[in-house]
Structure 1
Amino acid sequence: MSAPQTAGEPAAEPTNVSLFQPITLGSRTFRNRLWLSPMCQYSAEDGVPGQWHVVHLGARAKGGFGLIFAEATAISPEARISLGDTGLWNDSQEQAWQDIVDFVHERGARIGIQLSHAGRKASLRTPWHTEPGALPIEDGGWTPLSASPIAFPGSTEPTQATGAQLQRIVEDFAASAVRARGAGFDVVEIQAGHGFLLHSFLSPLSNERTDHYGGSLPNRARLLLDVVDAVKEVLGATGPSLFVRLSATDWLEHGLTVHDSAEISQWLRERGVDLVDVSSGGLLPAEIPLGSGYQVPLAQHLRAKAEVPVAAVGLITSPQEAEEIVASGTADAVFVGRAGLADPSFGLRAAHELGHQAAEQLWQKQYVRAIWK
């Protein structure tokens, strides 16, 4: 077996498997197109990632993925979903993330961070709390901000964000992006889906504003585009690649549609976003047609209409399915979530099952004895 690859560098040998072809997005090249989704762990202290995050992300970095994503990470204390969320607003957090980034790079993978403001989904208890739901003020909770004072079911009614508060949020996203670059992350992703702050502006179901942040789609997209412009500026031409996660549809009448998201994706491409990470839902409870790869057609639509690279995500659980998505040109990369939680070595298994010619190069030298034959 050859020495481990330098972080993110493609294997020297050609591959006959589309999923394991390298891809360049912005200033970074990724060794393959099988990536780990950002998934909240709710296990931080004061926003600082700890040993759990080292083990969780490190185990998957040695598992053959081309890109490992850290969870949704708050840009400020009040941007957290819960008190257990990771953050990136101070020096202690940046240093802790840098240690994790260095470890992932030593395993040959690239690593990204998803910057987020929870909006009306902020100030919640952790999901496994005996009394899930809104976190009371007396227990450390706070009043959420959103586009309009419309509560997410089970949450505290938010305050409508003022213009000054929105400007501060744009600045907070940019400041966290500076820290992400300082910590060595390869990708910065802006969370604009799943019912969080930026999504609450995009959807007419949660945005009833009458100012220049409400009404028409360009107005509802204004905050997201302001954030993208600010983050793109501080990352620079040689900094981390820039992704945006969208919920392409709310799956609800009168909500955000895939056609709206295609137009938004075109605006993102024009502003230099390197990839759109295509998810859906999360704004309000909805009847979603859950099933294997149920969001893949959304990614395909955005890729075709906006002519922007996209990643597909959502109940993609087998290597064969992931390979078909990339090989068919439906999406440029695939994120796996639950499958990656269940199997830290999902990437190694995928390379083996798909007959990747350079599969052995993905293995760490300590584990060579376990290579499948």
Structure 2
Amino acid sequence: MSSTTLSTTPPADSPRVRQVSDYTDLAREVREAGLLKRNYPYYWAKLVGMVAVYAALVTAFVLIGDTWWQLVTAAVAAVVMTQAAFLGHDAAHRQIFVSGRWNDWTSLVVANLFVGLSYGWWQHKHTKHHGNPNKEGVDPDIDLPVLAFTPAQADARTSRLTQWFTRHQGWFFFPLLLLEGLDLHYQGLKRVFGRAPIARRGVEIAFLGVRLLGYVALVLWVLSPLTAVAFFAVHLGLFGLYMGGSFAPNHKGMPIVPKDLRIDFLRRQVLMSRNVKGGRFMDVALGGLNYQVEHHLFPSIPRTSLRRAKVIVERFCAERGVTYTETTLFASYGIVIRYLNEVGLGVRDTFTCPLATSMR
């Protein structure tokens, strides 16, 4: 599909001009409501609390000693590490401090030293995703070596084994997330030790070295080899499952946008994103990612303001006739599985983007 040629100076009352002004109007409302102001007490409490929880977790791990009960500790550590990753995500989006430098260093410390993931690698990948969510050939989150997110990607699988896997890939999605923790660590190390440009490479290598080598050394010091292997498997497996299960509902199963389609910023972010219902519990469990629409529209809005921003954004979208999607967590998982299986089975009508037709 190809977009129509657009004039360089559209009339002031044209749909394109009105659509661009839509986001300006929405941003003004959100700003005037005071929702972009930083919440320092909340985030300082989170940062100090993170350090305290990590210290308590390490102390408990050493005191419990070499026992299979450490698998419970591994599960707790997976939750703690994912929550720390959410905090690093907030800092990377400039949600915590006004100062960009303070946010950068907070992300570097939290991601590399506490979670063991490369901030530079994640920033590069995530910035591309935010700019063009679900856009073919641009969004790295729908360009993965294992899963096919478009019929074209499914058609590229030529061997009998990959074709069989692709036809059933939806059912493999969540089991594959058990390997996501390992892959996130691998991708980060690949970036910092590779030739691709990355800021503060030396700092990242130092932080990752302390975090990853220290983690392995501590586990092997306290646990016997067999128990240590089980600990690693449970910890990294549940970390990957929790991380992947938190990000999966956001865009997967939403419309895929052709690479040549032009869309104004508000619709580009709203129509490709999905919110998750669930109240305060979901706010904590998903680290604010349940407000994906609002997060994509205002990436620097503090996590604590997302709930109030949702009221404004949802009402604004209803007034402008922009589809605003929200569902429950498990319903979103069902959508993801069904979507991936339909791609693998070659169902094409499902992926005809109505947006593409309306924008031409």
TM over 0.5, yes or no?
Answer: no
Indicate the TM-score class for this superposition, using the shorter chain for normalisation: under 0.3
Calculate the TM-score normalised by the size of structure 1.
0.27
- Say which one has the larger Rg: 2
Structure with the bigger RCO (C-alpha within 8 Å, sep 6+) is 2
More helix by share: 2
More strand by share: 1
